[in-house]
Amino acid sequence: MRLTDVRHQDRAISILRRALRSGRTHHAYLFDGPEGVGKELTARGLAARLLCGDESLEPDADACGRCPSCKLLATGNHLDFHLIHRGLHKFHPDSTIRSSKGLFLSVNLIRHFLIEPAGMKPTQGPRRVFLIRDAERMNEEAQNALLKTLEEPPGSACLILVTASASRLLPTIRSRCQRVPFGLLPPDFVAGELEARLGLSAANARALASLAGGRLGVALLWHRIGLLDALDAVGGCVDRLPAGDPEAFGKTLVELATELALRTRQQADEEAPAEAEEGTTKSAGKIVSTDELRTALKLVMLLVASLYREALVVKSGAAALCSLAGQQPRVEQLAAGTTLDRLDECIRGVNEAERTLDRNVMPQLVCERLAVALLGELPVSG
């Protein structure tokens, strides 16, 4: 857990090293940027440095990794490091809260696991560090409760709020934190990491990196849930679409989204059992929540749009820029059978379907309407 391990986030690291060098680190940071670009890795690197017990280090150096504090942090046993996440509801002393679904970071969790310990003296060193994962999942009551801690912070506490949706935090929360911005990672770097870590072929690594759009953590998750296989299945749906059966098209997309939602849930359970939502492991009946289905369906729509975008690139005479190598025959056929304007309309049709999904329209109907739009039988708004 070193700041040096964070790649391609020079601005964020520079802000933190400058604060360490001055000896005036902020009491609260807001790590804001896309999902899967190194925010939590950076937060852990900062926490390690703040908790490190080696006093001989330069102020802006990385944590030593050798002292007792660093070793405890590496094993997840440091009493002054607190990871705040939704799954903590399972460890709350109130049985009513333990039996909840843990959909949000509720006020009860924030008070018990953050506000109360933040006011206590550290047990093993000079600081306590609180890393709030998915901070945007705090409901309004929880955010309001946290305000007093942010306004009058205990001298030993450092709060790091990590979020991919800072706009969902109250302005009063954002204004009391020092913002540390994170950007997307270079696609070539993401593809290279996928090849090195997963042993993917260069073509598959490039395809996954392109779909993830500069988000390495997202690409790694998508590999684990079999997104490239899902892309091939979506391509099959697009191939059969000219037969003109919107209902079958919609049903297949919903089934694919359900399967992706279940795989995503399984990954969360396997990687962090303590953070899994209550009852989510009981999925033999392939039942997913509405939120899970809508999230997965947006991912399926991303795959649909990616095929039409590749076809648009081919139709424009820039085939060398294509990134979905495994879909080349399908994409070329799609490009040959339509016009540039029509391909553009199809992409806008997918965007419109995503917006409709956000308006709580039934997923099956959204997908059927998308099929009609892709067939050119429905006007698409700009």
Q: Where are the beta strands (DSSP E) in the chain?
A: 28-32, 81-84, 128-132, 157-163, 178-181
Distance from the Cα of residue 214 to its chain's centroid: 12
The answer on 174 and 33 residing in a single domain is: yes
Tell me if 46 is assigned to some domain: yes
Q: What residue numbers bound the domain in which 21 lies?
A: 3-181
The answer on 125 and 66 residing in a single domain is: yes
The answer on 174 and 71 residing in a single domain is: yes
Asked if residues 132 and 97 have their Cβ atoms less than 8 Å apart, the reply is: no
H/E run at residue 346: helix 340-358
Tell me if 104 is assigned to some domain: yes
The answer on 171 and 236 residing in a single domain is: no
The answer on 105 and 49 residing in a single domain is: yes
Tell me if 215 is assigned to some domain: no
The answer on 160 and 259 residing in a single domain is: no
CATH of the domain at 123: 3.40.50.300
* Angle subtended at Cα 54 by Cα 53 and Cα 60, rounded to the nearest 5 degrees: 105
**Domains held by the chain: number:** 2
Please report how the helices 216-224 and 246-271 are oriented relative to each other, as an axis angle in degrees rounded to 10.
Answer: 110
Q: For position 284, what pLDDT does the model report? A: 41
Cβ neighbors of 76 (< 8 A, separation 6 or more) are none
Tell me if 96 is assigned to some domain: yes
The answer on 169 and 27 residing in a single domain is: yes
The answer on 234 and 169 residing in a single domain is: no
Tell me if 188 is assigned to some domain: no
Q: What is the pTM of this model?
A: 0.87
Segment 277-327, tens digit of pLDDT: 333 334 444 688 888 899 999 999 999 999 999 999 999 999 888 999 889
What CA–CA distance (Å, rounded) separates 133 from 136?
Answer: 9
**Sheet bearing 178-181, strands edge to edge:** 81-84, 128-132, 157-163, 28-32, 178-181
Q: Which of 117, 149, 181 is the last residue of a domain?
A: 181
Tell me if 246 is assigned to some domain: yes
What CA–CA distance (Å, rounded) separates 327 from 335?
Answer: 12
Asked if residues 200 and 194 have their Cβ atoms less than 8 Å apart, the reply is: yes
Tens-digit pLDDT string for the chain (382 aa): 799 999 999 999 999 999 999 998 999 999 999 999 999 999 999 999 999 999 999 999 999 999 999 999 999 999 999 999 988 988 999 999 888 877 889 999 999 999 999 999 999 888 999 999 999 999 999 999 999 999 887 878 999 999 999 999 999 999 999 999 999 999 999 999 999 999 999 999 999 999 999 999 999 999 999 999 999 999 999 999 988 789 999 999 999 999 999 999 888 777 654 443 333 334 444 688 888 899 999 999 999 999 999 999 999 999 888 999 889 999 999 999 889 999 999 999 999 999 999 998 999 999 999 999 999 875 555 5
Tell me if 230 is assigned to some domain: yes
Segment 49-68, tens digit of pLDDT: 999 999 999 999 999 999 99
Q: For position 150, what pLDDT does the model report? A: 92
How many of the other CB atoms lie within 10 Å of CB of 82?
A: 19
Tell me if 197 is assigned to some domain: no
What CA–CA distance (Å, rounded) separates 5 from 41?
Answer: 8
The widest CA-to-CA distance across the chain, in whole angstroms, is 72
**Dihedrals φ, ψ of 13, to 5°?**
-65, -35
